[in-house]
A and B are shown apart, each in its own frame.
Chain A
């Protein structure tokens, strides 16, 4: 008599096994003993209960979430996509470069109060906002790729273009962070740059295996989580009141 494989016992436990597996368990003592042992382990796992959130939890989740939703991000993004023509993109990139250059120049010259008419803390605040926005835009691309549930060939031309646009900006922010000794931010931006480059250099149309490789790479690096953590730290720093003296590193 052919005994049930452990995999078949697991499927039977979860009600996804073949009908004959149940019939076999009725007559085979060895398989029944093995199944009962499996059952004990899985029932023990039921003891691992999740704590029940306190009354009003849903309202608190909404209250934390709502400020970020006031403007529909999806509509905002598509409108931005339409607005960002190549010429405008070049202007935005040039402005970002100028901002970073001014920031670095201010650092080097030690004349924080005078450079470009902005004080050090104000300039740093602008950088925090700019890097935060950059991380958010990068995160959106990666999230869209990771959560794309398409099973056939995938067209990533839109994500590819957006990744390409973000690479140069990323490089500037990374250099600024490195220059100012913010290793945490520069290290995440370094990883992000490699991921963005990979997306930017991928073919526009990917078969399912190629697409799965990109997704696996994004997931394996845990870059989304790191972006989230750094983004959250930057937001915290944005909220701290402006100091009158020289500010902290980016």
Chain B
């Protein structure tokens, strides 16, 4: 019979580190997907998977079992990803003095593909990642957890360590920014 997450956790706490393999094998793909959507980079995502499982193992004594192990693991993965994208964003900010609003305006004024070309040539795909990159780290995390992972606002709040109202606001701000960036491109009627 397949071992449950709770049983595996109990075994690890009893000193059987090998029992962690069950949890790694069960959750590594979903953690990878989350990490990829947070970072947009496969190598970073793979590193984050390692980092997440290592942190989770070290903090297992703090896991109280109130949330499912997967949810708890996602919180750690989200925090690991936040660390990474914040550090990356700061580096980018140091490299360029151009502010985000300015970039948006410049992009709008430049010869970006027209809606028609985008909708029918698959170039829309190329706009999605840059649009996500314009979100703040917290907005991106909140959006990824809501949109791709299907977490409710309350769970997102717990994952980010903020009140539900703040989590809701982050999701809302993220959607607002994405809408501003992508609406012209998708307004041709092709979702």
B17 in contact with A44 (CB, 8 Å): no
The reply to whether A42 and B49 contact each other, CB–CB distance below 8 Å, is no
Of all chain B residues, the one with the shortest Cβ separation from A143 is B55
Tell me whether A215 is interfacial, beta carbon within 8 Å: yes
Q: Does A75 contact B (CB under 8 A)?
A: yes
Q: A48-B37, A143-B59, A149-B158 are in contact. Are A42 and B147 (CB under 8 A)?
A: yes
Q: Are A69 and B86 in contact (CB under 8 A)?
A: no
Mark interface residues in A160-190 (1 if CB within 8 Å of B CB, else 0).
0000000000000000000000000000000
Q: A44-B191, A53-B32, A212-B161 are in contact. Are A219 and B83 (CB under 8 A)?
A: yes
Selected contact of B55 from candidates A48, A53, A147, A149, CB within 8 Å: A147
**A215 proximity list for chain B (CB < 8 A):** 161
Binary per-residue interface labels of chain A (204-229) against chain B in the complex, 1 for a CB within 8 Å, 0 otherwise: 00000000100100011010111010
Given contacts A44-B186, A146-B79, contact A69 B84 (CB under 8 A): no
Q: Given A6-B172, A212-B161, do A16 and B153 touch, yes or no (CB 8 Å)?
A: yes
A147 CB to nearest B CB, Å: 6
Instruction: Name the prevailing secondary structure of the A interface residues.
Output: helix
Count A/B pairs, Cβ under 8 Å. 148
Q: Which residues of B contact A7 (CB under 8 A)?
A: 168, 172
B58 & A140 in contact (Cβ 8 Å cutoff)? yes
- Given A73-B57, A149-B75, residue A58 in contact with residue B25 (CB < 8 A): yes
Q: Which of B10-66 contact A (CB under 8 A)?
A: 12-13, 15, 17, 20-21, 24-25, 28-29, 32-33, 36-37, 42, 45, 49-51, 53-55, 57-62
Q: Which residues of B contact A (CB under 8 A)?
A: 12-13, 15, 17, 20-21, 24-25, 28-29, 32-33, 36-37, 42, 45, 49-51, 53-55, 57-62, 75-76, 79-80, 82-84, 86-87, 90, 124-125, 128-129, 132, 146-147, 152-153, 158, 161, 168, 171-172, 175-176, 178-179, 182-183, 185-187, 189, 191
